[in-house]
Amino acid sequence: MDLQALGWPALVVSDAGLEIAATCTIAEVAAIAPVEGWAAHPLFREACTALFGSTKIWRVATVGGNICSALPAGPMTALAAALDARALVWRAAVGTAPAHDERMPVAELVTGDRTTALRPGDVLRSIHVPMSSLRARTAFRRIALSPLGRSGSVVIGRLDEDGSVTVTVTGATLRPEQLRYGALPPAAELADDVRAIRTWFTDAHGAADWRRAVSALLAEEIRRELGGDPTGPATTTTAGARP
């Protein structure tokens, strides 16, 4: 099935937030125009830069394709999970159960390395980013073993208007991992929580123990930035050249 032929609008803004079609391209996400009050706006392009490739790739790769491929380093998974986006899934009929719509957090849609909660016949229609997340402050960090390598870890922090903090780790873990706090956590608590994550993995792009260690460092940089003590710009880093 060619979903692009369905003509879904790539981006729909409402008072409730932002609806991003599964067929929206990464180029379209990167080009989202600033909106007054959207403090999280820089994160859209920052996340896109985690997918290295030519502009041709950006113009054809889609948000839905990136999420449904369920690669640990998927940048659209990182973006959606960090903003608490919810996926709209068209569930296929199974036996006597009719087809129906289901909303679920993108962080739960991706269940592991190349595995999702989708069943045969299901379709990811869109993801919805709530207005509360769009209005939140964010901080982005990425690290890889080489300047053009696949992400070894992507850590994104979000400080909501009510003072609550969410730290999302992807790239280094088999599935998105999220740590939630009512306020900015102490450094030791955040470090302990990051290291307690159980889904670190090893592949050609990094060993599990390295991923755990650098994720804790990146999380601390994010904690300081969200707390008003920036440690440098949220740019792509490598193991040999961290900010």
pTM over 0.85: yes
pLDDT value at residue 94: 84
Domains in the chain: ranges and CATH = 3-238 (3.30.465.10)
**Residue pLDDT, tens place only, 57-111:** 889 999 999 999 999 999 999 999 999 999 999 999 888 888 889 999 999 999 9
Q: How far apart, in whole angstroms, are the C-alpha atoms of residue 222 and residue 11?
A: 28
Burial-class residue 82 by CB neighbours within 10 Å (0-12, 13-18, 19+). Answer: buried
Largest interatomic CA distance in the chain: 57
Q: Is 200 left (phi over 0), alpha (psi -120 to 50) or beta?
A: beta
Residue 106 contacts residue 22 (beta carbons within 8 Å): no
pLDDT value at residue 235: 43
Q: How far apart, in whole angstroms, are the C-alpha atoms of residue 228 and residue 152?
A: 26
pLDDT value at residue 191: 98
pLDDT value at residue 75: 96
Contacts of 137-140 with CB under 8 Å at 24 or more apart are 137/39, 137/40, 137/226, 138/39, 138/40, 138/42, 138/43, 138/82, 138/83, 139/221, 139/222, 139/225, 139/226, 139/234, 140/42, 140/43, 140/46, 140/47, 140/222, 140/234
pLDDT value at residue 236: 47
Residues 6+ apart with CB under 8 A from 201: 72, 113, 172, 173, 174, 208, 211
pLDDT value at residue 240: 39
pLDDT value at residue 5: 67
pLDDT value at residue 241: 33
pLDDT value at residue 230: 61
Positions of the chain with pLDDT lower than 70, given as ranges? 1-5, 52-54, 230-243
Q: Which residues are registered as beta bridge partners of 140?
A: 156
